[in-house]
């Protein structure tokens, strides 16, 4: 009796997984449990955090943009649902592919990679003008970016 129930349940869950929706949304950070998938650091500076919604419904969290990009490089294209990064200052999630980035060696991030994200190119440019430093980068620049060698 129980076994049949289990079989039904198993297949139900498998089915559910098979037809899970492809509309990827970022999830909230649970500071008690979330650690960076790459460097293992617990995520305490939420303003720099990133996450990847995998196509199978799992989430991987990252404490720094650099860790996220490194993890993305080793993933199959099909496995990535959508990747998000926190917007500097605004504290909302933005798509890494459309975001603009600013690098300066003096910008502090949890892994000291020194790259922060902005939702639009304008706000990134504004940051550079205001701080008087920084270099504007796009998503495609990040691929060839040398992470963590500037010190």
Partner 1 sequence: MKHLCTILYYFVLLWLIFAMPAKADQLTLQEQIDGTPAGSVLVLEDGVYTGQITITKPITLRGSKHTMLEGNGKESLLRIENVQNVTLENIHITDAHVGIVVKNTSQVNLLNVQLQNVWSGVQIYNSKHVVVNNLKIKGINGHYSKKGNGLDVFNSNDLTISNNKVQDVQDGFYIEKAQAIKLTDNDIKNSRYGIHFMYTEDALAEQNDFNQNVTGIMLMMTEDAQLQNNHVTEQNGLNGSGMVLFEAKNIDVLYNHFQNNRTALSTQKLATSTVEYNTFQMNQTAIELLRSNKENTVYANDFVGNIVNLRSDGTSISISQNYYDDYDGIDFDDNGIGDSPYVALQSFGQWMVRKPSYQYFIESPSVVLLNKMDRQTNAIETEQLVDKEPMMYSAQKATTEWNIQLWQVVTGLTGLVLGLWLWRKEASV
Partner 2 sequence: MINGLFIRLEWKQMLRSRWMQLVAVLFVFVFAAISIIQQIALPDMNGFTRQTASFLNLLLFLLPLFILTIGSMGIANDLESGWFSLLKTYPITIKNYILGKYVALVLSFMLILLLAFSIVLGMSSLAGQVHLPLVFVGLSSVTILIFSALAIVCGVVAKSRLHALALSLLAWAFALLLLSYALMAVGTIVAGHTLQKLTIVMIHLNPAEWVRFGYFIFSGQHSVLGPSFYEFTEFYSSLAGLVVYVLVTICWIVLPLLFAGFLLRRKGGQV
Residues in contact with partner 2 by CB under 8 A are 2-3, 5-6, 9-10, 13-14, 17, 30, 32-35, 54, 56-59
Beta carbon nearer to partner 1, 21 or 40: 40
Closest separation between CB of residue 25 and partner 2, Å? 14
Binding site for partner 1 (CB under 8 A): 31-33, 35, 39-44, 46, 111-112, 148, 151
Among partner 2, partner 1, none, the one that 14 touches (CB under a kind-dependent 5 to 8 A) is: partner 2
Distance between CA atoms of residues 115 and 3, nearest Å? 53
- What is the token pair recorded at 66? 């650099």
CB of residue 45 to partner 2, shortest distance in Å: 19
Give the burial string for 58-79 (b: 16+ CB within 10 Å, else e). Answer: ebbbbbbbbbbbbbbeeeeeee
Tokens at 116, concatenated = 């922060």
In whole angstroms, give the CA distance from residue 93 to residue 49.
9
Of the two residues 14 and 149, which places its CB atom closer to partner 2 in the complex?
Answer: 14
> In this structure, what token pair is assigned to residue 112?
């000291």
Using the minimum distance from each CB to partner 2, give the nearer residue, 2 or 130. Answer: 2
Give the start-end residues of each E strand in the chain. Answer: 50-54, 59-62, 80-86, 93-95, 100-103, 115-118, 135-137
> Which H or E element spans position 112?
none
Cβ of residue 56: shortest distance to partner 2, in angstroms?
Answer: 4
Is residue 117 classed as helix, strand or coil in its secondary structure?
strand
Q: How far is the CB of 50 from partner 2 (least distance, A)?
A: 18
Choosing among partner 1, partner 2, none, which partner's interface includes residue 111 (Cβ < 5 to 8 Å by kind)?
partner 1
Q: Which does 41 bind (CB under 5 to 8 A by kind): partner 1, partner 2, none?
A: partner 1
């Amino acid at each position: 009796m129980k076994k049949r129930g289990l079989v039904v349940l198993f297949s139900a869950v498998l089915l559910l997984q098979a037809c899970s929706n492809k509309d990827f949304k970022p999830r909230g950070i649970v500071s008690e449990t979330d650690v960076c998938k790459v460097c293992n650091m617990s995520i305490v500076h939420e303003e720099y955090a990133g996450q990847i919604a995998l196509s199978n419904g799992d989430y991987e969290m990252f404490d720094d943009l650099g860790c996220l990009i490194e993890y993305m490089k080793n993933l199959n294209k099909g496995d990535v649902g959508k990747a998000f990064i926190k917007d500097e200052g605004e504290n909302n999630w933005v798509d890494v592919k459309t975001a603009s980035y600013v690098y300066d060696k003096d910008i502090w991030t949890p892994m000291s990679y020194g790259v922060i994200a902005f939702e639009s190119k304008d706000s990134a440019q504004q940051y550079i003008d205001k701080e008087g430093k920084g270099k504007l980068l796009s998503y495609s620049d990040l691929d060839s970016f040398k992470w963590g060698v500037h010190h």
